[in-house]
Every structure is written in C-alpha cells, then in structure tokens.
Structure 1
Amino acid sequence: MKHRINSSELSIEINQTGMELSSIKSLHTNTEYLWQGDPAFWSGQAPVLFPIIGALKDGFMVYKNQKYAIPKHGILRNSPKPVLKESTENSLLFSLVWDEESLKQYPFKFELEIQFTVLGSKIEVVHRILNQGEETMWYSLGGHPAFNCPLNEGEEYEDYFLQFAYPETDSTWNVESSGLIGTDTKPVLENSSALPLHKHLFDDDALIFKNLKSREITLMNKNIGGLLSLKFDDFDYLGIWAKPGASFVCIEPWLGIADSVDSNQKFEEKEGILKLEAHQSDVKTYSITILK
C-alpha cells in the first residue's frame, strides 16, 4: 500500500512495504525526481538499510557464539510488516517492531520508526531507533534513494555531476564480486568538489567514501544548475551508485558499511556499527530538497 502527502511544492509517496520512498513529484512541473524502479535495471527506489548495510562475509554475522544470516542490506527491505502509526496532511509515521521471526535473523528487540515530512520543497526523513530489550543492541542504518538522471528528454547522463559542499580529497574502497569491501582504494576526488557522472563510473560497483568533510551533496546539471540536494549531517559514510546503463544515480547516506574481506564476523566489532543500551533510543535524520 502506498500513502501520499503533499506540501505547497511537492507530492511524495511512501510504500508501506519497506517504509520506502516511492515518488517525489513537483506539483508545478509534474517532474518525477525519484527513480521508478525499472526491473530491467534495478527494481528498488529508496530502500531503507537496517540493521546492516551491504553484505555480510559468508552471509552471516556472529553474536554470542551464534550465527545469524542477514540478507544484503538487512531485514526491512521489501518487508510487508511495517505499519502506519500516524498521518497528517504533510507527514507520515511508520513503524517496524521486532517479532519472533526477526529474532532468528537479528537477535535484538527493536522498534524502528521512520517519519516522512514534506514542507515546501524539502523532505525530511527522520529515523528513530529504540532498543526494547534488556541488553546492548548493535545496528547499522542507511538510506538508498535513487534519483532520475537525466531528468529531462534530450539530456545525457554526462550532462550531470555531483557537487559536494566542500572540496574533497578521498578515494573509493574497492567492492569485491562478493559484495565485500576490499583492501584496495582508488582515488576519486583530488581537492575537488565536483564528481562528473558518466556511463562507466560504476563499472566496478558503488563508490564508497569514508572520509568526506561534506555532509551535503547536490545533483547538478551543467547547463541549468542544481536540481536537488541531500543533506546527511547524522551519517558518517556515503555511497554513490547506479546500475551501469540505467538512468538514475543513488546518493546513499550510511551509518555503517558492508563487511570487509578480512572481517572477523563479530557483530559488535563490525566497522561503523552503532550501539544502543537497553531501553535507549537514537534519532538519525537526512533531508532532500528539490531546487528546480
């Protein structure tokens, strides 16, 4: 089931399955900014990554000497279990709560709430993670929104670039065929705030940045300027990805990362993993602003 909310500028839709953003449309121009999930390339649109990001080494993690198999990107993606808790004209609040089935994959008693609010040209995505158990809980969290690129007929992918808030010098970490993070890096940004998009940029999978200063990134058209920006102050890592040949680009704020090839598979020692003490909660937010 999909739910729609509007502001004066935008209409957005959320798929209750997976609590996934499924449309961002301008009310003035009828432009659709979000990738519509063509299965010939990639059927996703903006999956929520929880409680892991990417792949686990050998497909499982270890916690208290028990193995837990968690699928790539976690247990929320495509889940039919989220419920709508609250709705207003411009806000929707969804929730996913642990159950006996989830404990077989992820051994923590959690609630994950996601609130989508649209105000003017801005969409705020607020995640509240609650540990309902009696022990420390470990988790990762990430966004995976895919934006149409190019947006308009007659444009080319190469007409677009990503603009970082600050000049950056950073490398991407190589992704192995297994989906694990390799030990090698490749320079991508050298004192530059612009990352040109081109059809071979993602031939070797996602670009994965661990050391950015910027916490805002803008999708730019070199002829008409900025189209949308994503602000991710609460997130430490950034992934950028597209299926080669597809007309989209994903801008992915992450708290955590896929396992490395040399991971010891202990969940509490996983790179980027976060923890919550018993009955504590945390809030992580990113926002999308439509500029044109």
Structure 2
Amino acid sequence: MLYTIENDKLCVQVRDHGAELRSIKEREDETEYLWNGDPTWWRYSSPVLFPIVGKLKDNKYRVNGKTYELPSHGLGRISDFQLVEKEADRIAFSLRWTEESLKRYPWKFELQVAYELHGKQVKVIWTVRNHDDHEMIYSIGAHGAYRCPIVHGEEFSDCYLEFNHEEDAPNMPLNKEGQYLRTHGTKPLKGTRLPLCYEEFKDDVLAYHNLKSDKVTLRSTKSSKSLSVIAKDFPYWGFWTPGQGGAPFICLEPWHGHADYEDFDGDFADREGSEHLAAGEEAVFSYTIEIG
C-alpha cells in the first residue's frame, strides 16, 4: 500500500513493502526528484539495506558454526512492513522477526523506518532493536535512486556530484561476483566534484571508505535544481547507476557496512564494517534528503 505525507513544500509517497520511499515531489512546480522504480532499469527507488549491505560471498554466512543464506542487501527491501504511525508530515513502519526470518537471519530483531518532513528536507530515521538475549550483528544502509538529470531535456553527462569537503580517497573495487578486492581501485575521488558519465559505472558501484564529506549534492551545469543527501558518521558511501548506461538516475548511498571481501571466510561477526548491538538495546541512524 502507498501512503502520502506532505507539508507546504513537499509531497512524499512511501509504500509499506520495504518501507520504501517512492516519490519526492516539490509542490511549487511538481518536480519529481526520486526514480520511479521502472523495472526496465531498476525496480527499486530507495530500498533500505538490512541486515546486510551488498552481497555475501556465495550469498552465505556463518554464525556459531551454522551456515545461513541471504540475498543481496538482505531482507529489508523484500519484506512487508507494518504501519505503526501516520501523521500529516511523519510516517513510521516496523519489521519484526518471525519464525521464518530466524531461518535466514538468526536474531530476534525489529527495524523501524520513519520519514519526517521539515521544510524541503526528508529526514530518514532507522531504529534497530535487538529483542534477543545475545549480541546481534548487522549492517544497514541506504540505496536512494534520484532522477538524473532532474530537469527534463538535460543529459546525465550534464550532471555532477558535489562534495562539501575536499576529497582524496581511493575507491573500493569489486570483482565480477560482487565482492570487494583488498586493493585500491583505479577511480579515486579527488577534489569536491565528480562529473557523471556512464562509463565510470561499467564495473558497478563506486564505493569509498572514510570520506571527509557528509553532504553529497547532485547538481547540473545547465540548471539550478539540486538534491543533497546529508549523512553524518556513515563510514562508507556508494554511488551507482546501471553499468550498461542510459538509466536516468544516480544512487547516493551512505552505508554502515559493505559487501564481503572476495577472500573473506570468517564468522559473520568478523565482517568489516558490521554493527554490534547488545541484547535488549537499540541503535538509531538517520540521514536527510534535501531539495536544493
């Protein structure tokens, strides 16, 4: 089911499947900023990645000697959430463990996803709760796909990403199976601007660790429309559009966690970037989407 929240600046739609944003529209001129999920290119628009980010090696992982399987990006984006709160400018959904989920992810968890409107900002709030009697291991991340170009008639190559700090960071390269290599890639991020061209994404996502920037803005050289993702204290960022080129969107993805390294063969708790949550505790993460 699709739900709407709005204020005098924005009209936002969210569906209960995946607790996923499906539209961010500016009320002033009806400009749409979010990719619509057309499966011709990619059937998602802004999935929540939980309890893994990226792809496990062979889609498998071990906990206390037992092997489990999860699809890429985990359970969040393929699950139906329950509506738990609805106001004019705020909405929240919850996903809780079930006997079936324990067969794929062996923790009694709850993931609450909330959206709040503040002027031209959409604040996204994730609350992870551990309802089990032992430490829980997980990753969580965003995968928002934003229209690129934002303005009809422009080209993808007219656009660029702007960073709020000078960067000098190597990218994390992937192999063909979606696992990271323990080496620096050939596409470092330097300065405050990343011009967009499809060729840069032919080898999949551009991923970076420990960027100085906590604000990434999608801009165009031909118009003033822009969109920013503001994500403080996220150790990883990914930028992605389908590698074959031609897709009219770019994903801006702050993450806590990442896909397995190609040589990783340890326990789930030993995966780089994973979060650890004590029994009975909760952790809250948030980021903001800002219309320029």
TM range (shorter): over 0.9
Q: How many residue pairs end up in the alignment?
A: 290
How big is the shift at 1:275? 0.5
Q: Is the 8 A contact 1:168 1:189 kept in 2?
A: no
Partners in 2 of 1:34 and 1:142 — Cα distance? 17
Q: Is the 8 A contact 1:8 1:119 kept in 2?
A: no
How big is the shift at 1:174? 1.2
Partners in 2 of 1:277 and 1:70 — Cα distance? 22
Does 2:266 align with 1:275? no
Q: For residue 260 of structure 1, what is the aligned residue in structure 2?
A: 261
Q: How does 1:1-292 map to 2 (within 5 A)?
A: 1-80=1-80, 82-189=81-188, 191-225=190-224, 227-243=226-242, 244-291=245-292
- Name the % identity: 38
The letter for the 2-side match of 1:152 is V
Could you give the per-residue CA deviations for residues 166-200 of structure 1, whole angstroms, max 9, x where no partner exists? 01001111111111112332243464110000121
SS of 1:172's equivalent in the other structure is coil
TM-score, normalised via structure 2 length? 0.97
SS of 2:234's equivalent in the other structure is coil
Partners in 2 of 1:85 and 1:59 — Cα distance? 31
Question: Which runs of 4 or more aligned residues in structure 1 lie more than 4 Å from their structure 2 counterparts after TM superposition?
Answer: none
Q: Is the 8 A contact 1:128 1:283 kept in 2?
A: yes
Partners in 1 of 2:190 and 2:37 — Cα distance? 34
Partners in 2 of 1:180 and 1:128 — Cα distance? 27
Q: Is the 8 A contact 1:173 1:181 kept in 2?
A: yes
Q: Is the 8 A contact 1:131 1:281 kept in 2?
A: yes
Q: Is the 8 A contact 2:214 2:230 kept in 1?
A: yes
Q: Is the 8 A contact 1:234 1:284 kept in 2?
A: no
Partners in 1 of 2:132 and 2:189 — Cα distance? 45
Q: 269-278 or 169-178, which moves further after superposition?
A: 169-178
Aligned-residue CA RMSD (Å): 1.1
Gaps of 5+ in 2: none
Q: Closer, same or farther in 2 for the Cα pair 1:276/1:190, shift >3 Å?
A: closer
More strand by share: 1
Q: Closer, same or farther in 2 for the Cα pair 1:149/1:27, shift >3 Å?
A: same
SS of 1:77's equivalent in the other structure is helix
Partners in 2 of 1:275 and 1:153 — Cα distance? 44
How big is the shift at 1:223? 2.7
Q: Is the 8 A contact 2:150 2:225 kept in 1?
A: no
TM-score, normalised via structure 1 length? 0.97
Q: Is the 8 A contact 2:138 2:276 kept in 1?
A: yes
